[in-house]
């Protein structure tokens, strides 16, 4: 079928404008040039994570391997490798990569066999842990998030991650003790059930402080005589959701 010259010109201009506009929409750029987006992950590590003092090679390697864009909604895919939190639905967000790296490094996972995560969220932190340790147990109180995370992790062939829907404050006692525990929401204290489920020498990291105010990222290490507490940095997280509390937005 033939078209008038002016019609072809108009069609061509429309296509050009459409492609230009798509590059401006989150989730519509990047994949065309490099479907694996490896270059973006390398840049994220080199420019956003290493400069913040992260040195653990296992953590850095995990951050380079895991396709973070698979853990965010398509609309935000273009921003997946920025050092910022992003919405993942259900009033929740995925934490910025540098914070994920910091919390993972602080757990000192060399030689760890079993880790517990409280707050599965998108599943990204669980994937980072699973690249380093043989077994990851993760609990999510928001069932749709747990379902979505399980699907994403299965599609990426993570077979060493075990997901449960439930109240993370209580931990996962039948699988204790854990070599490390990471909590992705703030509490005004370290939950005793989680402290009890740490192995001797194990580490627990979580934000501690008042609701919707700046909190401190605290690291607890269990010793044969009790617990040692170290303050790492200041952060801002929403409260740890309990079974008898309404769901609130959070960073996962």
Instruction: Tell me the pLDDT tens digit for each residue of 62-87.
Output: 999 999 999 999 999 999 999 999 99
pLDDT band at residue 245, thresholds of 50, 70 and 90?
A: low
CA distances 23 to 38, 41, 53, 77, 118, Å, are: 19, 19, 33, 12, 36
Count CB atoms within 10 A of the CB of residue 248. Answer: 14
**Mean pLDDT computed over 238-245:** 75
141 vs 204: CA distance, rounded Å = 19
pLDDT of residue 243: 77
Question: Catalytic residue at 95?
Answer: yes
Instruction: Name the catalytic one among 77, 95, 122, 187.
Output: 95
183 vs 189: CA distance, rounded Å = 12
Residue 250 has pLDDT above 60, yes or no: no
**Mean pLDDT computed over 142-169:** 97
pLDDT band at residue 107, thresholds of 50, 70 and 90?
A: very high
Domains of the chain are 85-251 (3.40.50.150)
**Continuous segment of H or E residues that includes residue 128:** helix 124-130
């Amino acid at each position: 079928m033939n078209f008038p010259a002016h019609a072809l010109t108009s069609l061509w201009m429309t296509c050009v404008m459409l492609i230009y506009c798509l590059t401006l929409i989150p989730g519509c750029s990047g994949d065309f040039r490099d479907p694996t987006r490896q270059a973006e992950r390398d840049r994220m590590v080199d420019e956003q994570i290493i400069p913040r003092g992260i040195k653990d090679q296992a953590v850095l390697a995990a951050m380079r391997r895991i396709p973070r864009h698979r853990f965010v909604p398509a609309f935000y895919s273009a921003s997946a490798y920025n050092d910022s939190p992003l919405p993942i639905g259900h009033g929740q967000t995925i934490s910025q990569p540098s914070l994920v790296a910091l919390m993972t490094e602080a757990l000192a996972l060399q030689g760890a066999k079993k880790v517990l995560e409280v707050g599965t969220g998108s599943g990204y932190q669980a994937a980072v842990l699973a690249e380093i340790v043989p077994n990851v147990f993760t609990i999510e109180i928001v069932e749709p998030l747990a379902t979505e995370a399980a699907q994403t992790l299965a599609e990426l062939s993570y077979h060493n991650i075990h997901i449960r829907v439930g109240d993370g404050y209580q931990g996962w006692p039948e699988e204790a003790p854990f070599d490390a525990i990471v909590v992705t929401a703030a509490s005004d204290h370290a939950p005793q059930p989680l402290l009890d489920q740490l192995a001797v020498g194990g580490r627990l990291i979580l934000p501690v402080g008042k609701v919707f105010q700046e909190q401190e990222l605290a690291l607890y290490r269990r010793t044969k005589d009790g617990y040692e507490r170290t303050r790492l940095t200041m952060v801002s997280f929403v409260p740890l959701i309990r079974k008898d509390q309404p769901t609130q937005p959070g960073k996962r």
